[in-house]
Structure 1
Amino acid sequence: MHSTAVAAAVPLAQEATRLGVLIRAHRLRIGLTQRELADLSTISVRAIRDLEQGKARRPRPETLRLMADALRLGPRARASLEAAVQRGRATGAGWEQPPAPPTALHPMVGREAELAGLERELSSGAERLVHLVGLAGVGKTRLALAVAERLHAAGMPVLWHTFPGAAADHLGCADGEPAARVAAAVTELLAPADGERHPGSGPGGGTAAAAGSPGAVDSLAELLGDQPVLLVLDGVAAGAARCDRLTGLLRACPGLRLLVTSDQPWEVPGERIFLLAPLEVPAAGAVDTSAPAVRVFLDHVRRVRPEFAPTAADADRAVWVCRWLDGHPGALAAAASWLVVCDLPALCDSLREDPVALLDHLGGRPGADGFRGVLRHRLDRLSPAARDLLGALCGGAGEEFELAGITALTGGGLAESGRLLRELLISGVVRAAHEGGSSRFRVLGLVRAACRAAAPEHRTAAAPEHRTAAAPESRTPAATAA
């Protein structure tokens, strides 16, 4: 059968498997079995079977060339094969129903600007690799869920992969072939170079990289094709992705958007680092229960104490707690959980005395470190210069600072001070406020408290004791209301 006749014999209903039909027709035309074609082309029998059955539709150019040579195809037949490959790329998986993200268990509060920005960047394809970075418990997973929900509602398939130890505050997705392909490809993307430890293998080194079979990234690329797809990698362990494999996947799948949540960025080309700060707290002197942090705290309080009806004094205390804890969502939830055994005035007094000890379960999942451990690991990853700078900032009396203050403190130049400040910002221990054309920064109160407790030697004898990052009126409201 001539190549044009072979192409014409492919029904339009089988367009998604056109490549497989063509290969099988050409193989039968010259009387070869799959084994014989494998021997002639040096391609495995399994690869040929997958191509003919439509399980694989995006062979490498070299694979296609070997196949065409073994089938003794002329220029026109080779062009038909290449056209079928291009159709396979455009079709991708051909989802009957686009895969959906997990279902969030709780509403999201106070992230409207962040949500709108991420939705715009990912839906348009302006950014294809977005890395959500922030301190543990700051709400990275919840924001990623909201973005995925928005994009899925607009018709975009969403594939979600949760790493061991990530926050489990959602109902997971169904398993299946797409999930298995994603899991294998992710392991391959994060597999270290020879002699390096796998970033997710933990203290013992482990062999997690062995789970990523060769070609898993290519298999995922075949599944995705050119169609718009959001792939979320939630809770990636410390470490870096294989830049070559990551770049290859993004190049092979022009419709792919990748959203990653972790404690630190990969620092690879094309990565959009999105720093997620804690929730907004009321301005100094204001008792604003509509502020996002206060709404989140009161919502957690009502889950613990359904009968809770805040008085004016309770509202004052709630605002103070939110300022004292910098609006950190995980810290607010951990603080509210204590109200099952104490009242709000007692909680304020305990937080003022030792917030880190009270909230140590912020790290919080079974088998996970407490907040002290989480913070210790975070600080251990800082450069020595950044750790020294953080110690000096925690030992000083200033509440907020500017970049000029860093240069005065370190004695370094503007570029060096900027790099150190950026490192602290990315680590999540410092938050920024950009208002009126100026940028000011401050160390989170919980970080100050933890650093002072862990390393009192960082404080000079002349430095006054600095209160955690509360509002200027840092008396507990319990004392005010008494």
Structure 2
Amino acid sequence: MTTSLSPEDTVTATAALGTLIRGHRFRIGLTQQELADLSTISVRAIRDLEKGKAQRPRTDTVRLIADALRLGPRARTALEEASRRGHRGGAGARHFAAERPAPPVPLHPLIERDAEATVLAEELRSGAERLITVVGLSGVGKTRLALEAAARLHDAGFPVLWHTAPGAVADALPACDDRSAALTADCALLLYGEGEADDLVAEVSGALGDRPVLLVLDGVDAALLDFPRLTRLLRELPGLRVLVTADAPWNVPGERLFLLSPLEAPDPTAGVRPDAPAARFLLSRLRHVRPDVVPDERVLTDIAWVSHRLDGHPLALSAAASWLTVCDLATLRGIVESDPAPLLDHLADGRSGSRLRERVAHTLAALPEGHRRLIAALCDADDQEFVLDDVVRLTGMPLPYCGRAVRDLLVSGVIRSSTDTGRSAFRVLGVVRAVAGDLTATSTSASA
């Protein structure tokens, strides 16, 4: 991971003297009067410096303030440089704050996730939740949901710092702002265990002022993040909100777990529902590939069955729709009902298909051995749905263990809730069944 500016240069480029002093003062919990007493400088001088009225203080004044704030070498250097820049520094910081860094621009419209986006954006905007981790199986739409929530907060006045983890698929157009990119990279580096929290607090305060800020960490491995460092940032930057998208939860205090399930795809046996979210999503993808197809009763029935068999998983539905360039919808439905595994390869973008297989296989491999055995047993069962009693019967374990196991599988995204029968039932996702079958076949072949 590289940045266009070092942490020291970023502070120099974006932070005015007054905002640096205020940020450091807030960090250690001093009032203006207390800082004045410790530095032997008048409280009026402190107030004028923080408001930007005194742009070029004496060198001794800066030294006394740095001593009172107990600054380290790097933070002290940044403060001295800001005092030398004078008016230029203040203007740069105000200009940077006024621009409000924006999130990336999504490449595809949001379909059937408005309710989730509304809840997510409101919880972050209000400050009811300051750390939210969106989890779900790869390809379920976590990044697209985060983009929508970030866009809504940006419209509400939030600067948005967006970090995409190395190796994650960036299905969006990045914002062209080197200054915000450098600041975002510094935040990410700190949470990965590099850099100094003192400098970053001052950097964010200097660049963005006192307004609320959204930091998005997209596609990260939460196990690699440093929670104590995040705790300090949340404590010293009261306006900071953090939104994480990951395959697994962070499992830290204060984390709001937001489980993103596949789109609703009801069983067509009880009647075709063209308005079902998964059916509407697949129809939108079908129109991209085959705009000539008329959504008559037969087409809508086939769409409903394909959506149901693929459990409303957005990336699986998109991959299946790409096959309509080489086959008709009725043939596609037949393939899905017999063996959906080949359809996981997106014809227009082979990387997405292979990534889906790899990520699902990775998720299955990361499950505890007992959970993997349970998934295998559920895949072998004749009934597509199962209830908690079935888990008790298959595992021979007590109810509390089985309840936790089902919750773990829900959080990992390999199963989903089912309301087809009106009871508390669950289904193993079709994409999981396909990949689990591939893994079983490979294992059997290797052992032979």
TM-score by length of 1: 0.73
Residue identity matched to 1:442: R
- Residues 350-397 of structure 1 deviation map (CA, whole Å, 9 limit, x = unaligned): 223321122134996749944332222111110111111111111112
Shift of residue 27 of structure 1?
5.0
**Unmatched segments (≥5 aa) in structure 2:** 1-36, 84-89
Counterpart position of 2:253 = 269
Compare 409-418 and 378-387 and name the one that shifted more. 409-418
Separation of aligned partners in 2, 1:377 and 1:440:
25
| Change in 2 beyond 3 A, CA 1:136/1:26 | same
Distance 1:335 1:398, change over 3 A: same
Write out aligned runs for 1:40-79 (5 A): 43-44=72-73, 46-54=74-82
Moved more, 389-398 or 363-372: 363-372
Once residues 182 and 130 of structure 2 are traced to their aligned partners in structure 1, the CA distance between those partners, rounded to angstroms, is: 22
**1:234 and 1:270 mapped to 2: Cα distance?**
19
How far is 1:255 from its partner?
Answer: 1.1
Spell out, residue by residue over 1:126-146, the C-alpha distance to the aligned partner (whole angstroms, 9 max, x if none): 111100111111111111111
Give CA deviations for 1:165-200 in whole Å, capped at 9, x if unaligned: 333322211232232122132123124xxxxxxxxx
Select the structure that is richer in helix: 2
CA deviation string 1:92-124 (max 9, x = no partner) = 997112222122222212112212221221111
Does the residue aligned with 1:455 lie in a helix, a strand or coil? helix
What's the offset of the Cα at 1:260? Answer: 0.7
Partners of 1:386 and 1:113 lie apart in 2 by 31
**Which structure is higher in RCO with an 8 Å CA cutoff and minimum separation 6?**
2
SS at match of 2:219: strand
**Partners of 2:202 and 2:430 in 1: how far apart?**
47
Quick one: distance in 1 between partners of 2:306 and 2:104?
Answer: 31
**Separation (CA, whole Å) in 2 of partners of 1:290 and 1:376:** 32
- For 2:125, give the aligned amino acid: S
Q: Which protein has the larger Cα radius of gyration, Structure 1 or Structure 2?
A: 1
Give 2:50's aligned residue.
15
CA distance in 2, matches of 1:220, 1:433: 48
How much has 1:337 moved relative to structure 2?
0.8
The answer to whether the 8 A contact 1:234-1:261 is kept is yes
* 1:188 matches 2:216: no
Seen in structure 2, the aligned counterparts of structure 1 residues 387 and 362 have a Cα distance that, compared at 3 Å, is: farther
1:305 is matched with: 290
Cross-structure match for 1:423? 408
> How far apart are the structure 2 equivalents of 1:288 and 1:445?
20
Is the 2:392–2:398 contact (alpha carbons within 8 Å) kept by the matching residues of 1? yes
Change (3 A) 1:110 1:386: same
Matches within 5 A, 1:96-245: 96-191=98-193, 212-215=194-197, 217-218=200-201, 221-222=204-205, 223=207, 226-237=210-221, 239-245=223-229
Aligned match for 2:238, one of 248, 254, 257: 254
1:374 maps to a residue whose letter is R
Shift of 1:327: 0.8
Q: 1:390 to 1:20 in 2, by over 3 A?
A: farther
Paired with 1:260 and 1:363, the residues of 2 have a C-alpha distance of 29
Q: Secondary structure at the match of 1:95?
A: helix
SS at match of 1:230: strand
User: Which segments of 5 or more consecutive residues in structure 1 lack a partner in the other structure?
Assistant: 56-87, 192-211, 460-482
Specify the code of the residue in structure 2 equivalent to 1:242: D
Q: Does the CA contact (< 8 Å) of 1:157 and 1:230 recur in 2?
A: yes
CA RMSD of aligned residues (A): 3.6
CA distance in 2, matches of 1:457, 1:367: 22
Task: Supply the distance in 1 between the matched residues of 2:107 and 2:221 (Cα, whole angstroms).
Answer: 23
8 Å CA contact retained: 1:226, 1:256: no
Given residue 217 of structure 2, which amino acid in structure 1 is its aligned partner? L
Q: Is the 8 A contact 1:157 1:229 kept in 2?
A: yes
3-state SS in 2 of match to 1:257:
strand
Show the counterpart of 1:296.
Answer: 281
Task: Report sequence identity in percent.
Answer: 45
**1:303-352 Cα shifts (integer Å, max 9, x gaps):** 11232223321111111111111111111111111111221122222223
| Gap change, CA 1:97 and 1:17, over 3 Å in 2 | same
CA gap of 1:250–1:363, structure 2 versus 1, over 3 A, is farther
Structure 2 counterpart of 1:345: 330
